[in-house]
Amino acid sequence: MSLTLVSAKSVEDDRKARFESPLSVRGLTVSYGESPAIFSVDVTVRAGAMTAIVGPNGAGKSTLLKAALDVVKPLAGSVQIYGQPLAQMRDRIAYVPQRASVDWDFPTRVIDVVLMGMYRQLGLLGRVRARHRTLALDCLDRVGMRDFETRQIGQLSGGQQQRVFLARALAQQADIYVLDEPFAGVDAATEKAIIAVLQELRDAGRTVLAVHHDLTTVPDYFDDVILLNTQIVAAGPVADVFTEDNLQAAYGGRLATARVDPESVAG
């Protein structure tokens, strides 16, 4: 057994890593009841990369995102955005929640949802001007939904709804894009369209962090991967971390099922 002492240098290194990271999390624990959903999670997301959060059902993937954005109050831990407290940096993060988390019968049109992405910028009384509208339409265009501008959101298919959510995030013009299961229950065309947009963002220097459930596409889509099963199993570049052993450790006996039928993990 080896004992590591905390040296001044390691503290300094960590501080530096957090300063450079768009999103860093230390000792984050969230509990909904008696047992923790995530426990003492440390994550340092690499700037300008696409990172997947992967893990079995109930591993706390969505919880990690929500706690990192303070939507769920953590029991312990801290979150920093480029080394600053989250509260001051919220405008630099765009969040795409799970599609199923909202009521799609809500009386609103596609364009209105995208404009919601600019509400922070518009403030309480700022008028929606032509340039805001142009930006919203441009965002819809990027996800291939330009023609649906005035459609009521309830008339959209699941994939189209997901694209509208992505367009709303784009309208925020943020640096960090945090997506919860963006590919869950969407058609193949939407998956392609979304990944193309996300890769565009990455290539423009933005950071993408997404909960992902399809192990087969992780190497194709993402640069980094975080394997989560309540605690961090492994994290780092896909080439180093996305190994048989690590997956086995994260998924345990469920790996076989996850491999054979990736859809089943989505459920």
Partner 1 sequence: MLADALLLQLGYNAALVTIGAMLLGVAAGVAGTFLFLRKRALVSDAISHATLPGVGLAFVLMVAMGGDGRSLVGLLLGAALSAGIGLLCVQWLTTRTRLGEDAAIGAVLSVFFGFGIVILTIVQTLNAGRQAGLEGFLLGSTAGMLRSEAMLLAVSAALVLALVVLLRRPLTLAAFDPGYAEAAGWRLGRIDLAMMGIVLLVTVVGLKVVGLILIVALLIVPAVTARFWTERADHVVVLAGLLGGLSGYGGAALSAVAPALPTGPIVVLVSFGFFVVSLLLAPGRGVLASVLRYGRYQRRVHVRQGLLALAQGQPIYERLTHRLLRRAGYILPDGVATADGQAAAAKAQLDEARWAIVRGDLVFVSAATRYDGLTEIETVLTPDQITDVDARIMAPQAVT
Nearer to partner 1, 164 or 258 (CB): 164
Q: Residues 210, 52: contact at Cβ < 8 Å?
A: yes
Nearer to partner 1, 207 or 246 (CB): 207
Q: Which residues are at the interface with partner 1 (CB under 8 A)?
A: 66, 69-71, 87, 90-91, 93, 95, 97, 101-103, 106-109, 112-113, 116, 119-120, 122, 124-125, 144, 152, 157, 159-160, 168, 172, 178, 187-189
Nearer to partner 1, 27 or 154 (CB): 154
Query: Least distance (Å) from partner 1 to the CB of residue 204?
Result: 21
Nearer to partner 1, 21 or 190 (CB): 190
Complete edge-to-edge strand list for the sheet that includes strand 224-229: 93-96, 176-179, 207-211, 50-54, 224-229, 231-237
DSSP per residue over 172-239, as a string? TT-SEEEESSTTTT--HHHHHHHHHHHHHHHHTT-EEEEE---GGGHHHH-SEEEEEESEEEEEEEHH
Distance CA 208, CA 176 (A): 6
Residue in the block written with tokens 């959903």: 37
> Could you tell me which residues come within 8 angstroms of residue 76 by beta carbon, excluding any fewer than 6 positions away?
27, 28, 29, 40
Nearer to partner 1, 16 or 129 (CB): 129
- In terms of C-beta density within 10 A (0-12 exposed, 13-18 middle, 19 or more buried), how is residue 189 classed? exposed
Nearer to partner 1, 11 or 102 (CB): 102
Query: Least distance (Å) from partner 1 to the CB of residue 120?
Result: 6
Q: Record the tokens describing residue 61, joined without a space.
A: 């993937």
User: Given phi > 0 = left and psi -120 to 50 = alpha, else beta, which region is 7?
Assistant: beta
Task: Give the DSSP H/E element, type plus range, for residue 52.
Answer: strand 50-54
Nearer to partner 1, 17 or 71 (CB): 71
Distance CA 235, CA 67 (A): 18
Query: Least distance (Å) from partner 1 to the CB of residue 14?
Result: 26
Q: Record the tokens describing residue 164, joined without a space.
A: 């509208």
